[in-house]
Structure formats: C-alpha cells, structure tokens
Amino acid sequence: MERFFRSLKQENVYLSRYETLKEAKICISSYINTYNTKRLHSAIGHRTPFEVYNQDYANIFDCCMKKEKKTHNINCELGLEWQVG
C-alpha cells in the first residue's frame, strides 16, 4: 500500500497542478483506474491487480462450490461463507 501512494504522488500528484478539487479527484481517479487495470506489476507476475483479484475470486468461488451442496451455507477453507441456493 505504501508503494501505491508513493507511485501516485511521484507519477501524478507532484507532476500536476490541479486548478480545482474536482479536477484533482478526476485525475487521481483516472490514475487509480489505470494503476489497477492497465499497469503491469512485477511483484504479481507482470499482471494487473484487477487480473489477480479476479483470478483469486474465481478460485475461491470454485473452491466453495465444490464443497457439500446439502446445506445453503458453504464454508471455504479461507474462512469465507457463501450463500448458495
């Protein structure tokens, strides 16, 4: 998380001169979107955080769906509870 804020400041905030708070919000939101959906990160195998999050979510869901389907509450090893039905 600290790395994200450092990147945000160095690559966007320090290089910009926002005229209004609204402009700052729009520009920073755009940077965050790019950071999460388009920028590749070496620490996570040159993938985007969005790709990693969605892959992990799909794996957790698959794990939970393979559990017993007798009950409506399925508990996964990761401590998550899914409502099925």
Which one-letter DSSP state was computed for residue 72? S
Residue range 6-28: mean pLDDT, rounded: 94
Going 46 to 51 to 52 to 53, the CA torsion angle's sign is: positive
Q: Is the pLDDT of residue 19 over 50?
A: yes
- Quote the CA–CA distance of 54 and 47 in Å, as a whole number: 11
pTM, entire model: 0.59
- Quote the CA–CA distance of 23 and 16 in Å, as a whole number: 10
For 43-69, write each residue's pLDDT tens digit: 888 888 888 888 866 666 666 666 545
